[in-house]
Amino acid sequence: MMIAPPTKTLIKKIASRTVQIFPMLLAISDNAAQNFAALPDLRDLNHGHNPYVSEHKYWTTRSTSEVIDMADRAYKEEQYLDVYELLNRFKHSDNIEVQWRIARSLYKLSQEEHTYPTHIRKEMITEAYDLLFTANDFEPNPNIYKWMAIVLDTKSGFDGLDKRVLAYPQVKILLKKAIKMNPDDSTCYYILGKWCFDMSHMNWVQRMFTKVMFGPVPDTSLQEAYDYLLRSYQIKQDNYYIPIMYMLGEICYRLKQYFRAEFYLKSATVLPPRTKFEYECMYKSKRLLDKLELYNLAKEAVLFEYPFNITPNTPND
């Protein structure tokens, strides 16, 4: 079957219609081009969402020192996963400045209980432990000693209270080394004080079980915890940390030094919290302050000295 060729009349109609439609098509295409040009660059959107996303790829040409600077900026912004991704490609470079920073970021991530399940958090700490304790010989460094102690204590805590108690002598040795090299590191005093504070919560049954199964529990006291935490508090006065004030307040409360307890606890409640942990400690401080209303603090003011920034006793080694 043959198709008849178009007639002259049909050709004229098609040509006329094309002339009418062509300007419309041009207008539509111009509008589309303008709208597309007005769209933001997706690379800019991505960069704005995460300033490190285009820079933390493994094939970056930046030097180690430049990447460390970027990681430190990300750490200040609490972008701990970005810190890990930035530094991870240098993990096996035997650069101790990189290794302790990776361990620090893994520790911070492992503390996010509401973000990661327990087995993932434990894997993070195990990775940090393996990185620090299997490192080659390194020059003495206060940061490496400090984070070895923190990671060891946290890993032992995941393994159980008994393991944590057994690891404490080594933790204490590492922290003492860090303090000797950097006496103004408030974190080391805080960790020592927190450990003594936590151990003071062990009940008689836990202490007897640990003693029978694993040997004597390290000798510590609330006073020793107070001395370490007070030293940390004095160093950090220009950069407060609410958990220190809360623990100092609870220790004074348990030692029946109620006026002094009120001083620290009120400080913990009036300063603005910056992290979830600080919010938790602020809430605990408010609850403990409610209990203090039962006591006559005016009498306590006579019995305990003021001001409270006294020089702490030297804790036993």
Whether residue 272 has pLDDT greater than 70: yes
> For residues 211-233, b (16+ Cβ closer than 10 Å) or e, as one string?
eeeeeebeebebebbbbbbbbbb
Give the pLDDT score at 81: 92
- Asked whether the beta carbons of 194 and 248 are under 8 A apart, the reply is no
Mapped onto helix, strand or coil, the DSSP state of residue 311 is: coil
- In whole angstroms, what is the distance from residue 314 CA to residue 317 CA? 9
Question: pLDDT class for 143, splitting at 50, 70, 90?
Answer: very high
Question: pLDDT class for 302, splitting at 50, 70, 90?
Answer: very low
- Residues in Cβ contact with 52 at an 8 Å cutoff, skipping those fewer than 6 apart: 70, 74, 79, 82, 85, 86
Position with higher pLDDT, 214 vs 89: 89
Give the pLDDT score at 42: 37
Q: Which of 44-53, 169-178, 214-223 has the lowest mean pLDDT?
A: 44-53
Q: What DSSP letter does each residue of 221-281 carry, written as one string?
A: -HHHHHHHHHHHHHHTTTS--HHHHHHHHHHHHHTT-HHHHHHHHHHHHHSPP-SHHHHHH
Q: Verify cis geometry, omega within 30 degrees of 0, for the bond prior to 307.
A: yes
Give the pLDDT score at 4: 54
Side-chain half-sphere of 90: how many Cα atoms within 13 Å? 25
Give the pLDDT score at 32: 46
Nearest CA to 155 out of 121, 181, 188 is that of: 121
- Residues in Cβ contact with 166 at an 8 Å cutoff, skipping those fewer than 6 apart: 156, 214, 215
Whether residue 297 has pLDDT greater than 50: yes
Which one-letter amino acid corresponds to residue 310? I
Give the pLDDT score at 37: 45
How does pLDDT run across 21-79, given as a tens digit for each residue? Answer: 555 545 545 554 454 444 444 334 334 445 544 444 554 577 888 899 999 999 988 89
Side-chain half-sphere of 168: how many Cα atoms within 13 Å? 22
Average pLDDT, the chain: 77
Q: Residue 23's Cα: distance from chain center in Å?
A: 62
Averaged pLDDT, 77-96: 87
Question: pLDDT class for 311, splitting at 50, 70, 90?
Answer: very low
- Residues in Cβ contact with 14 at an 8 Å cutoff, skipping those fewer than 6 apart: 6
Q: pTM for this structure? A: 0.68
- In whole angstroms, what is the distance from residue 30 CA to residue 36 CA? 10
Averaged pLDDT, 212-236: 82
Position with higher pLDDT, 107 vs 274: 107
In this structure, what is the dihedral angle of CA atoms 251, 257, 260, 264, given to the nearest 10 degrees?
A: 20
- In whole angstroms, what is the distance from residue 222 CA to residue 193 CA? 9
- Asked whether the beta carbons of 246 and 270 are under 8 A apart, the reply is no
Q: Which of 4-8, 98-102, 308-312 has the lowest mean pLDDT?
A: 308-312
Position with higher pLDDT, 143 vs 239: 143
Whether residue 194 has pLDDT greater than 50: yes
- In whole angstroms, what is the distance from residue 127 CA to residue 155 CA? 10
Assigned token pair, 220: 């510590």
Give the pLDDT score at 205: 75
- Domain coordinates in residue numbering, the chain: 61-139
Position with higher pLDDT, 61 vs 267: 267
